[in-house]
Amino acid sequence: MSSLAFILVCLVVGLALQRSSQVPPNAARVLNFYAIYIALPAMVLTEIPKLTLDQEALLPVIATWLVMALTAFLVWLTARWLRWSRSVTGAMLLIVPLGNTSFMGIPLIEALLGTEALPYAILYDQFGTVIALNTYGVLVAAWYGGQKPAWSSLLKTIVTFPPFGAFCVAMAVVLSPWQFPQWWSSATERIALSMAPVVMVAVGLQWHLRLERQTAVPLAAGLILKLAVVPALVLGVFIFLGLDSLAAHTVVLQAGMPVMVTAGILAISHNLAPRLVSSLVGYSLLLSLVSVSFWGLLLTG
């Protein structure tokens, strides 16, 4: 509970800083840059070497793609049923399947399941969401935005993404008898500790909740699918299969994370229902603090 309170305090600090004239206009962008290029790679290099490669480690790797495919299929069915426009359909197919599994996912999972769940959370994020954003996300944005993506550009984006590079290095350590020296592990661990406060302050700085009447139906549909239906289905499947491990709990929480901010930016840059996207990003962040906490408490009893 104290970890969750810490996250909420940092979020409130970010919201308060929105109203301060002393905060530079690009403050949120700088914090995002630090989180992506410094803090997240440090966390990957700290937590992944602690991982034991077994069946538990395979679960989040496989589940992340199944969850995203299921979510995209449900969005497509809903779009056909409600006869959404091409712009709305493209926006929803882009942002609803892609969850905020790093910025929100890692701090919330650490708060609700403990640090032991972090390697599984990172596997889910790096093997799934990060790659999907730079492949599936770019393809959907380009297709519905009327553009043609370049495959060479997609590959370059994935390979040069700092957390992905750190992930490859960390996995090489896991697969070899070599270990990072103690001074290095200590340094990356201290840097990684800064991720949660920096991320939540950045989220607070960018938090805008503009509700448009014309976007109410797709907004409600997106929130229900993202925060309730998909994690409930994943949990139901795991109960049916008898999976009750820490890795399974991590997958359920990651499946119910809010919309990825970066995916929202990608959708807006391609003019895919920008008002709907901004509302869905903001409201999913707000409601996920309650919904993910609910799933966490349900899983841990």
**Tell me: the pLDDT tens digits for 252-297?**
999 999 988 778 777 877 788 887 887 788 788 889 889 999 999 9
9-40 pLDDT, tens digit per residue, is: 887 888 888 888 888 888 877 887 887 788 87
Domain borders along the chain are 2-6+25-300
Protein fold of 2-6+25-300:
Na+/H+ antiporter like fold (1.20.1530)
Angle, in degrees to the nearest 10, between helices 216-224 and 86-95: 30
Per-residue pLDDT tens over the stretch 237-246: 999 999 999 9
What confidence score (pLDDT) does residue 266 get? 75
Nearest to 231 by CA among 250, 246, 216, 203: 250
pLDDT at 282: 78
Q: Which residues of 257-293 are buried (b: 16+ CB within 10 A; e: fewer)?
A: bbbbbbbbbbbbebebbeebbbbbbbbbbeebbebbb
Amino acid making up residue 173: V
Residue 5: which region, alpha, beta or left (left: phi > 0; alpha: psi -120 to 50)?
alpha
Give the integer Cα–Cα distance in Å for 90 and 88.
Answer: 5
Q: What is this structure's pTM? A: 0.76
pLDDT 10s digits, 164-189: 788 788 888 878 888 888 899 899 98
- Please state, rounded to an integer, the average pLDDT across all residues of the chain: 84
